[in-house]
Amino acid sequence: MTNVAIKDLFRKTSEYANKEVTLEGWTKTIRDSKTFGFIELNDGSFFKNVQIVFNNNLSNFNEITKLTISSTIKVTGNVVITENAKQPFEIQATSIEIESLCPTDYPLQKKRHSFEYLRTIAHLRPRTNTFNAVFRIRSIAAFAIHQYFQERGYVYVHTPIITCADCEGSAEMFKLTTLNLDEDLPKKDGKVDFSEDLFGKKAYITGSGQLHGETFASAFGKIYTFGPTLRSENSNTKTHANEFWMIEPEISFCDLDGLMDIEEDCLKYIVNYVLEHCPEEIDFCDTFIEKGLKDKLTKLLNSDFVRIDHKDVIDILKKADRTWEFQPDYGEDLAKEHEKYITEYFNGPVFVKNWPKDIKSYYMKLNPDGKTVAAVDLEVPGAGEIMGGSQREEDYNKLVARMKQMGIETDPLYWYLELRKYGTNIHSGFGLGFERLLMYITGIENIRDVIPYPRTPNNCDF
């Protein structure tokens, strides 16, 4: 008999009522008395467990009662509807085959474990209820992202991981070399001679696919990337990791206002998709991780995102009747406390736009005032910045001048500049940190707990 997935039993219960089914999975709990017992079984297809009822008419009843947590079994039995019970149905076993018995020193016994401890057993933590919910939501959210862009005619582009182009600043990029570091490195004029390296020049692990994405947007109109990003930033915080995933759309013939429309629509689509397709997981997160999570997400869907200039945000912060750890200023970035206050002030998500040029990147379009750029950050309640984007500078001469002003070499990026020579057009793009989005959707407070195997300073285990 072909195995039935537990997910199908929950989603199509009436179809299986009073029928014999076969399941295979891992034991989550086991309770027994002298004549009968209960097993909570999970096969990985669904967040919830199915209850198996067995009694002493089974020939191996005594062996079954000795099952341990995370043992694997094969169960055949009848689906019985239990309308007045906690679960909608149960399986009354006619046979239980023990496939493997898990040792009693299994680290995940039936008790609550700290997030810190579970990070030390990252290879086992997906088996816990918390991480089963989080990583199932991660899977569904990733699918929603692809579906959102595919339904709207975007082309999915695979940008290179290895690059000699500097998008966000080489100080945050991992350097790549095949030179033997255990031997004397080749030198020229007192510096390492990278002409003898594999690529004949300095190479990096890219920190963004944006620049290459723009080249494809100039051909296909609308593109997006979605993949791993690596940055060497030595920042040991709850919101930073050295390896994470980014979504980076680039859209031709789109200005800053149009970009904000897309950002808002995209975020609402993903959140709504997760709410619709992960109800059990969201309920769990709402109960055990962040009280009121469902209400928070539902409120976001029904909110009109505020749009306000950076200078006006600073005005509000300066007038606030409170003491700041970091004083807000017109030429400065927003601190976490500022992000928190401004979302509370407007009681919802806020687009902060038109930022001081001196704290933003060279590729952002300079506004007519000559002091600000057409950049935007999306701040959401409880999470702070979740998206960052801008209208890109489409004027060749202005872009060259901006690069020189910021000390960025133009020769290595000649190909990027040529986009402004051959059929230039207004275009915009944004970056969405996938893990920060997941933190917002699940209520998880540490980025290490929404990534399967986190890579952070002094941590590269597994």
- Least confident range from 2-16, 80-94, 167-181, 275-289: namely 167-181
CATH superfamily of 125-167+206-449: Bira Bifunctional Protein; Domain 2 (3.30.930.10)
Please report, as a single letter, which amino acid is at residue 107. Answer: P
Please report, as a single letter, which amino acid is at residue 89. Answer: F
- pLDDT for 151 beyond 60: yes
Percentage of the chain beyond pLDDT 90 is 87
**CA–CA gap between residue 109 and residue 95 (Å, rounded):** 26
Domain positions in the chain:
6-100, 125-167+206-449
- pLDDT for 269 beyond 80: yes
- pLDDT for 398 beyond 80: yes
> pLDDT averaged over the chain?
95
**What is the pTM (predicted TM-score) of this model?**
0.94
Mean of the pLDDT values across residues 389-416? 95
Tens of pLDDT, residues 13-34 = 999 999 999 999 999 999 998 8
pLDDT band at 85 (very low <50, low <70, confident <90, very high): confident
Q: Which one is predicted more confidently, 193 or 155?
A: 155
- pLDDT for 454 beyond 80: yes
> In CATH terms, are 6-100 and 125-167+206-449 the same topology?
no
Mean of the pLDDT values across residues 388-410? 96
Question: What would the CATH number be for the domain defined by 6-100?
Answer: 2.40.50.140
> φ and ψ at 10, to 5 degrees?
-75, -40
- Least confident range from 98-107, 258-267, 377-386: namely 377-386
Mean of the pLDDT values across residues 415-443? 97
